[in-house]
Amino acid sequence: MASWQEKFKHLKEEINSFKIENQSSLEEFRLKFLSTKGLIKESMSWISEVPKEEKKNFGLLANEVKQLAERKFQELSAQMNSKQTDTKRYDMTMPSSPALIATRHPLKIIEQKIIRIFSQLGFAVQLGPEIEDDWHNFTGLNTPKDHPARDMQDTFYLTQDLSYLLRTQTSSTQIRVLETQDVPLKIITPGRVYRNETISARAHCTFHQIEGLYVDRQVSMSDLKQTVYFFAKQMFGSDQIRLRPSYFPFTEPSAEIDISCFICAQKGCNVCKKSGWVEIGGCGMVDPQVLINCKINPDEFNGYAFGMGLERIAMLYYQINDIRHFWHSDLRFLSQFKSEFP
Ligand code: DAH
């Protein structure tokens, strides 16, 4: 039979090696060692087997083991408490903080609005490439080499012979579509364009346009005017439009599109520079040469085209005074714009 010393040694080992995972194993520890029916209490009864002269040593050792068990219990419950307060910090029932939902870029919102308006009139969306060749960006659009209209549209050329470039206008998609699709057709083409421009509050070397093209039989200038009017009314709530004679190589006749100032109702303000009118783009009847370039018979078909700068429309619509805001990725700016569309 084991001696009382051995039994205490064994008891100490048991106490030391007891592992606590959770609240209920802490309670198991208490029941096993410290309760009235626990091993510490029981160990006191071993005294009956101890010879008189050893009783004092027994008492010392019994006390030591008891203290060991109590200390361990305190340590373990402190440990459990701190664990509990750790988990208490996370109240699983609390509603979570709202997830930040990104907003659309204002130019995308405006693009969507414009597409919505023109799709009501039956225009389909067509996209064209940003890297273009000379034919689609210039020559096909009746702007051959050495044409003075090229001066206003210097861009980033990609090859030494100037045959590939970053497109200067979405009008290039007109040629792509007319070459590959059957007429009649009615398209709008939004997208990014590039020019060799000094960056300022009003101009950027990278910007966006949206182009419209309608080719059919017997298209008239009044169809063009009505389309532009519908757009101005839907987009800005303008009551009047004005087509001012202008020049573009690919339309004849050509015009600048002005809409009545929707900010001051033509009383005169900063936006319309006291004129009552704001310019939003260019337009005209498709030059027959453009149709010929795309192997379409101009005696049978004709059409109109128009082009607008998206930044210009967005700046008017939201009254933004510096085009560079669109490029700064500043959330204080971007988060102000909310899309009406999903
Ligand atoms: N492409 C012209 C520009 O960037 C804008 C334009 C004018 C487009 C008249 C057209 C148009 O389709 O008919 O300045």
Residue 305: CATH number of its domain? 3.30.930.10
Taking each helix axis from N to C terminus, what angle separates 106-119 and 310-318, rounded to the nearest 10 degrees? 100
Q: Let me know whether 231 and 190 are in one domain.
A: yes
CB atoms within 10 A of CB 225: 17
Do the Cβ atoms of 20 and 26 come closer than 8 Å? Answer: yes
Q: What is the pLDDT of residue 271?
A: 84
Q: Let me know whether 250 and 180 are in one domain.
A: yes
Domain membership of residue 15 (yes or no) is yes
Task: Measure the CA–CA gap between 274 and 278, rounded to whole angstroms.
Answer: 10
Domain membership of residue 71 (yes or no) is yes
Domain membership of residue 42 (yes or no) is yes
pLDDT tens column, 206-226:
999 999 999 999 999 999 999
Q: Which residues line the pocket of ligand 1, CB cutoff 6 A?
A: 169, 171, 211, 248, 251, 282-284, 305-307
Domain membership of residue 98 (yes or no) is no
Q: Let me know whether 194 and 221 are in one domain.
A: yes
Q: Let me know whether 129 and 83 are in one domain.
A: no
Among 30, 59, 90, the domain-final residue is 90
Q: Let me know whether 179 and 49 are in one domain.
A: no
Task: Measure the CA–CA gap between 34 and 44, rounded to whole angstroms.
Answer: 12
Q: Let me know whether 255 and 182 are in one domain.
A: yes
Domain membership of residue 166 (yes or no) is yes
302-309/185-194 β-pairing = unpaired
Q: Let me know whether 195 and 219 are in one domain.
A: yes
Among 90, 125, 152, the domain-final residue is 90
Give the mutation target among 138, 246, 248 for probing the ligand 1 site: most ligand atoms within 8 A of CB: 248
CA–centroid distance, 144 to ligand 1, in Å, is 16
Among 90, 116, 151, the domain-final residue is 90
Q: Let me know whether 84 and 208 are in one domain.
A: no
Q: What's the gap between Cα 125 and its chain centre?
A: 22
Q: What is the pLDDT of residue 102?
A: 85
Do the Cβ atoms of 305 and 248 come closer than 8 Å? Answer: no
Task: Measure the CA–CA gap between 193 and 210, rounded to whole angstroms.
Answer: 10
Q: What angle do CA 204, 206, 209 make, to 5 degrees?
A: 100
Domain membership of residue 296 (yes or no) is yes
Which residues form the domain of 311?
Answer: 106-334
Q: Let me know whether 72 and 136 are in one domain.
A: no
Domain membership of residue 80 (yes or no) is yes
Do the Cβ atoms of 287 and 304 come closer than 8 Å? Answer: no
Residue located nearest, by CA, to atom 7 of ligand 1:
282
Q: Let me know whether 203 and 252 are in one domain.
A: yes
Q: Let me know whether 214 and 307 are in one domain.
A: yes
| Model confidence at 82: pLDDT above 90 | no
| Model confidence at 86: pLDDT above 70 | no
- Number of domains present in the structure of the chain: 2
Q: What is the pLDDT of residue 255?
A: 98
Q: Let me know whether 85 and 132 are in one domain.
A: no
Q: Which of 51-65, 243-257, 271-285 is most confident? A: 243-257
